[in-house]
Amino acid sequence: MIQPQTQMLDIYRASMKTAADIAKASLENAEKLQNRQLQIVRNALEENTKSASDLAQVKSLDEMMALQTRLASSQMERMIDFWSGLWRTAGDSQMAMIGQLQGQVEQMRDRFRETYDLTARTTESAARIAASQVQSVGERQGERRPEPQHRKSA
């Protein structure tokens, strides 16, 4: 039979593990986000170098307008990719943390239920033992009790 103190320690350990898991998931997601941002910055630098090279080769106003249109379209596409990736990463992070929390809450609920059931059984058992002892004491006192004597009138 597990003692309530042991179960409370188990619950505390489970809570600390949950907190550590959430912190780890949060840090891993921050790392993913920073890596994504770094990749976007690298791509932007590459495109900037390419754009500068293309601009150096422009020979007419029409070519410059076509290049400008292509660059604006590319920048808009990168911005959309950046924000959609950012929100996707944030959503995935939230889903992962919520999943971890739900699992830990279920484990803790099971532990509390076990503790409650153990406490209820222990209380019922103690009540039965106490009732049995009270009954046996009452029976013993009934056996020892002297018969009341009737007084005779003088």
List the chain domain ranges: 4-137
Q: What does the pLDDT read at residue 60? A: 92
Q: What does the pLDDT read at residue 69? A: 92
Q: What does the pLDDT read at residue 147? A: 59
* Element spanning 15, H or E: helix 4-57
Burial class (CB in 10 A: 0-12, 13-18, 19+), 97: middle
Q: What are the respective helix, strand and coil percentages of the chain, to the nearest 5?
A: 90, 0, 10
Q: What does the pLDDT read at residue 47? A: 87
In angstroms, the CA 74 to CA 79 distance is 9
Q: What does the pLDDT read at residue 59? A: 92
Q: Which residue has the tokens 């039979």?
A: 1
pTM above 0.75, yes or no: no
Extract the residue ranges of the chain whose pLDDT is less than 70: 1-2, 4, 143-154
Q: What does the pLDDT read at residue 30? A: 85
